[in-house]
Amino acid sequence: MDINTCKILITDDSILARKQLKDIILTIGNPTFIEAVDGADCVEKYRKHRPDIVFLDIVMPKMTGNAAIEEIMKINPDAFIIICSSIGTKSQLKSALEAGAKEFIQKPIEKDQVIETITKRIKGR
């Protein structure tokens, strides 16, 4: 897999958080970006686009990140989901990982952590 052929779904109810993540990713390549504003939108766009990587906030309107993970896992048990959240209890994080999330990035987002996580996915680790 190559970053320039990747499809990346970024789900956050904050437009600024989505832009920040896109700006970081654009420093290492030019993937196709898909954006979602809440968990329900994320599941719908996952179903339609089948992205290679999903960045997902936990606390959002309409459907939480954890509920979205459960729905995405029904669509594709191998989905690569990265939780990217500033708030979230240990129990919410544990639930997210148990539901199928592969990684967790704490907000405020650190560029190096995002790049390392994407690189790991691209190299298949």
Q: What gap in Å lies between CA 112 and CA 109, rounded to an integer?
A: 9
Question: Which pTM value belongs to this model?
Answer: 0.94
What token pair was written down for 92? 């919410």
Average pLDDT over residues 45-56: 98
Q: How would you classify the pairing of strands 81-85 and 53-56?
A: parallel
Average pLDDT over residues 24-37: 98
Cβ atoms of 24 and 41 within 8 Å: the answer is: no
Cis bond upstream, residue 108 (ω within 30): yes
106 SS3 class: strand
Superfamily classification of domain 3-122: Response regulator (3.40.50.2300)
What token pair was written down for 108? 């405020």
Mean pLDDT over all residues of the chain? 93
